[in-house]
Amino acid sequence: MTFSRNPFCTFFLFALLFFSLTVILKKWHFGLQENKPFGDAACPDGLTPERDRLLQQLKERQQELELLDITFDNIQSSEGFRDLHLSTNHSVNYINAKTDIGCEELSGMKAVDFLGSGYTKTVLKAELPQGLFVALKSVNHQGTDMRLCMDEFQDSQGCHELVSFKLRKEIVLLQRLQHPNIVELKGQCQDSALVGGITAVLEQGMPLQMIQLLQSPWEERFRVCLGLVRLLQYLTHSPLGSVALLDFQPRQFVMVSGELKLTDLDDASIQEPACQEDSDCLLQFPLRNFTLRCSPSRICEGLNEMRNLYNAYRYFLTYLLPHQSPPLLKPLIHQIMNSTGDLKQSINETLAAFEEVLHTYKSGLHLENLPPSITRDYAVLKGVRSGGNMEYRCRLSYNQQGCVLSVHSASEAVLICNSHPQCTSFSLSSERTWTGRLLASFRSGFSHLVPDVNSAVYMRRVKASGAVL
C-alpha cells in the first residue's frame, strides 16, 4: 500500500512531515489518537481517514524529535549551561556522544543470546569481530505496538516508521543524556538489509533481578540505591531540563559491573505539565496522592522530579535500603525513608543524605564508639591464611558457600565474630569492596596455616578450661 498515486502529493506530504519547522508544536504523547485531517486539502484524492491519522501521528513523532534538538540547542547556548555542567556530581561531556560502531562494524557480528523483548523493541546480545560484546536494540516487528498499528492502519511501511520513532527518540536521548548510571550508546546503524531497519548499539548489561538483589549484601544494595538517586538528580537538572521517566519500572534498568544503569528512555518526558490551579498538579500513585503548586508561569514545576523520586521510593528504596542495614546506620536510613516516602525533600537534599550515609559507612564514623580493647581477646597471625577451613554460612554473604562480609577494620570484624556463635576465627586479606572496605572471611575452625603476605588470621583466645573467649 502506497501513500499516494500522485508523486507530487507524496513529495509534498513527506516534506511537510519531516522537514517543516514552521508548524506550531502541539502537545506530544506516546499513544495513538484521533486528530483532525491535515492532508485532504493538499491531496484530496489520495488520503483515507486511516492514512490521514497515521500521517498525523508520524508528524507528531517527528516534532517530538525536533523538540529534543531545539531544547538541547537552546540550553547548550544559554549562559546557565556552563554552571549546570560544573554543578553536576559526575562531570560529563554533553555534546553528542561519540559513537564508533556503525553498520560496517555490525556486518561481521555474531548473535550470541536473546536478551528480551517488549511492546516496541527487541534486544540481542552480540559479539563484534573485535571480540566486544554489545546489546543490539531494534524494532520488534512482532510486538504489541506494531500489531496495534497494523490493526488500525493496515500499512506495514507506515507502521514500521511509526514504531521506529520510539527507538529513534531513545538514540537521541542517549546522545544528549550521558551519565554513569545511563547505558552508553556505542553506535547505531540504519540499514534495512543488514539489521532490518534502525539499530542502537549499547553497552551490554544484565537484566535487573530484584529477588537476587534482595539476597545480596546490604553494601551492594546501597550501591544500587545510591546510583539511582544520583541518576535522578542528574535527570532533574539535565541538559534537556527536568526529565520524567513515565514508565518507571525495574525492568527499565540493567546492571553493569555492579552499577545500576537506565537502559530504556523512549517513554521519558522533558516537559512539565501545564496548569491553571494547584489541583492540576496532582501526582497519583496506587496508595497515595500528592499535589504540587501551580507556578506563576502556569507550569507544575518540580512535578517530574517528585514523580521520579516517589517511584524510586516505591520500586527500589522500600525493598533494598532498610533491609539488614548496619545497625549504627539505621537512624540515617530511617530519615531517608521517611523523607522520600512523604516527598518532604528535594532530590538534591535526598542525594546529600545518601552521600552522608556513604561517607559515614566508608570512613567508619558509625564505629567510633567501639572500645579499642575489643580485639584483645583475639590472637593475630600476620602473613598467613588459614587452610582446611571449616566454613559456616551467614546471611547476605559475598560467598554463598561461606560467611564473607565487608568490614571497615579488624574491630568491626571482631564485633561480627562475637555475634556469631559458630565463629572462632576470621581472616582479612587485601581484597576490598567498591567502598574500599575490607572483606573478612569468618569460620568455625581450620586445620593448618599457609604463608600469605596479604593476609592475617584472627583467632579467639581459649581459656584454660578450653572454652573459647
CB–CB of 245/228 below 8 Å?
A: no
Question: What does the block give as the cell for 449?
Answer: 596455616
C-alpha distance from residue 241 to each of 74, 76, 83, 155, 296 (Å): 11, 11, 14, 36, 18
Q: Under DSSP, is residue 82 helix (H, G, I), strand (E, B) or coil? A: helix
Question: What does the block give as the cell for 370?
Answer: 567501639
Question: What does the block give as the cell for 347?
Answer: 532530590
Strand partners, 111: 126
* DSSP type of residue 468: B
Which amino acid, 364?
A: G
* Distance from C-alpha of 360 to C-alpha of 412, rounded to nearest angstrom: 14
* Distance from C-alpha of 377 to C-alpha of 114, rounded to nearest angstrom: 55
Q: Residue 364's closest CA among 337, 393, 391, 326? A: 326
Give phi and psi for 158, each to the nearest 5.
Answer: -65, -40
Which amino acid, 393?
A: R
CB–CB of 459/379 below 8 Å?
A: yes
Residue 355 CA to its chain's centroid (Å) = 18
* Distance from C-alpha of 185 to C-alpha of 188, rounded to nearest angstrom: 8
C-alpha distance from residue 369 to each of 329, 331, 359, 411, 419 (Å): 13, 16, 17, 11, 17
Residue 441 CA to its chain's centroid (Å) = 32
Q: What is the bridge-based pairing of β-strands 378-387 and 425-432?
A: unpaired
For the annotated catalytic residues, the residue numbers are 247
Strand partners, 122: 117, 138
* Distance from C-alpha of 274 to C-alpha of 19, rounded to nearest angstrom: 27
Question: What does the block give as the cell for 96?
Answer: 553528542
